[in-house]
Structure 1
């Protein structure tokens, strides 16, 4: 999966441009996140490109199957942590949750002090499974009121709890507030 994302983002900009669209019904597309600023008439583009794929390719299908297993296991552990039956949260979310593979690419930035890779946000879904590129920094979370960098670890996933888990747990589990900051030469893959 990582190899497929890396190969895509290594394509020349004019090749990647063929996939840019605002039509979210397309199976494969490339888009930018935007930030609405009240004082400005136009939205501000974040310093990133996002490639979500619902492609039926073998690589994506196998990845989705394995991530689905991981998510089922995590939901079971979260359920048990709440003192519930192991399959409780899985049942609440449904047997076939939507899985979307998404690669976020933050191109090298000539002036990272005046750009933002991805603004502060929470995930609407239950869980987000992120796989960072080894040695790449930029992902940050709020801890004790301060932004803290989330270091990438070889062959490790970062698991973010989203809005649905906070609601389903009656606030016992808290959603994660995160952002991505740009750096010179920075590039990251989040799935």
Structure 2
């Protein structure tokens, strides 16, 4: 299957804008957005979150400081192994870069609907303004509008989907997120005890996609989902919250835990690629987004992938150190994405993607 064909498997059916629904004095949520309270996405009690559990917070400045590195790498290892997600401070990305991107994101979603439609998704592609992975007319919908863009390498960009006056800000932000990704992947490799140089170089030339999310206020927040429970297929994902409204939740020991936003911190989430590379030592956690009855929330996620020539397979050292066989199959980059998109197209929800990669 060609790369173009693989990309086309990621198409989505157009659906109404949630922000437009809310704008028309919405009193009750349309049935298609109401999730089964007895199904896989429990409601009211779960959405209160468990405040006694706190996601680890790591300081990049200490991680790279020889005086603290040994201790901080152990903290990083524990966070990746036991949580699969952590907040990163001290990352040296200028506050202004993050602030500008947040401002542009909010301005885009606050544009008139007709203006945003200029950047709407087209048949056969996920890129642009709309929703992701809507594959049937009776599928339950998420309470979220989004715009998804490929940003790095620059030759993958489809600028017809990039909002007016957005290009410079998004380019700068993407380059900064790549810098963070290369640095943190190198540190994760050190914590894991594998080849730091190999992984860092794979992400220096890697692929970076950005998804900007808008979660409008909802009159029935306990019965909808902003983004449904999933594990990312990336190696890592980097999220910044455009404000202080909590919404991101991670599943920890059977409980949903809110990740409280920290100003200018980056939420680092382990993806399935890194779970495979670590041979299961590090876990790609299930996470989702809740919504708020009164307040709108915006977030920006950068999905970080290794370069195309990087084979996705368990690291040989991890297999030897764990004294067990490889838990996952080996894939080329193309085979990995083909497997994921075919699963979306043919079955949608069902067996978790990571389970399809098991040997």
Q: TM-score, normalised by structure 2?
A: 0.48
1:161 aligns with 2:270: yes
Give the RMSD, CA atoms, in angstroms: 2.2
Displacement of 1:94: 5.5
Secondary structure at the aligned position of 1:15 is classed as: helix
For structure 1, list consecutive stretches of 5 or more residues without a partner in the other structure. Answer: none
CA contact (8 A) 2:126 2:132 kept: no
For 1:58 and 1:9, how far apart are their aligned partners in 2? Answer: 18
CA contact (8 A) 1:33 1:46 kept: no
Counterpart in the other structure of 2:212: 103
CA contact (8 A) 2:237 2:269 kept: yes
Superposition map of 1:123-162 within 5 A: 123-162=232-271
Displacement of 1:15: 2.5
Counterpart in the other structure of 1:51: 147
Counterpart in the other structure of 1:64: 174
CA 26–44 in structure 1, closer or farther in 2 if over 3 Å, else same: closer
CA contact (8 A) 1:79 1:89 kept: yes
For 1:180 and 1:96, how far apart are their aligned partners in 2? Answer: 30
Superposition map of 1:34-45 within 5 A: 42-45=138-141
For 1:131 and 1:189, how far apart are their aligned partners in 2? Answer: 6
1:32 aligns with 2:142: no
CA 113–150 in structure 1, closer or farther in 2 if over 3 Å, else same: same
Counterpart in the other structure of 2:114: 14
Displacement of 1:36: 7.0
Displacement of 1:35: 6.5
Counterpart in the other structure of 2:184: 74
For 1:98 and 1:70, how far apart are their aligned partners in 2? Answer: 14
Counterpart in the other structure of 1:186: 296
Q: Deviations over 1:151-188 (max 9, x none)?
A: 11111110000000000011111112100011112312
The size of the alignment, in residue pairs, is: 186
CA contact (8 A) 1:35 1:46 kept: no
For 1:26 and 1:174, how far apart are their aligned partners in 2? Answer: 26
Displacement of 1:18: 3.5
Runs of 4+ in 1 over 6 A off after TM superposition: none
For 2:142 and 2:269, how far apart are their aligned partners in 1? Answer: 21
Q: Deviations over 1:67-104 (max 9, x none)?
A: 1111011110011112123223235x454211112101
CA contact (8 A) 1:36 1:44 kept: no
Q: TM-score, normalised by structure 1?
A: 0.87
Counterpart in the other structure of 2:196: 86
Secondary structure at the aligned position of 1:136 is classed as: coil
Which structure has more helix as a fraction of its residues?
A: 2
Displacement of 1:23: 3.3
For 2:217 and 2:115, how far apart are their aligned partners in 1? Answer: 18
Counterpart in the other structure of 2:327: none
Displacement of 1:189: 1.2
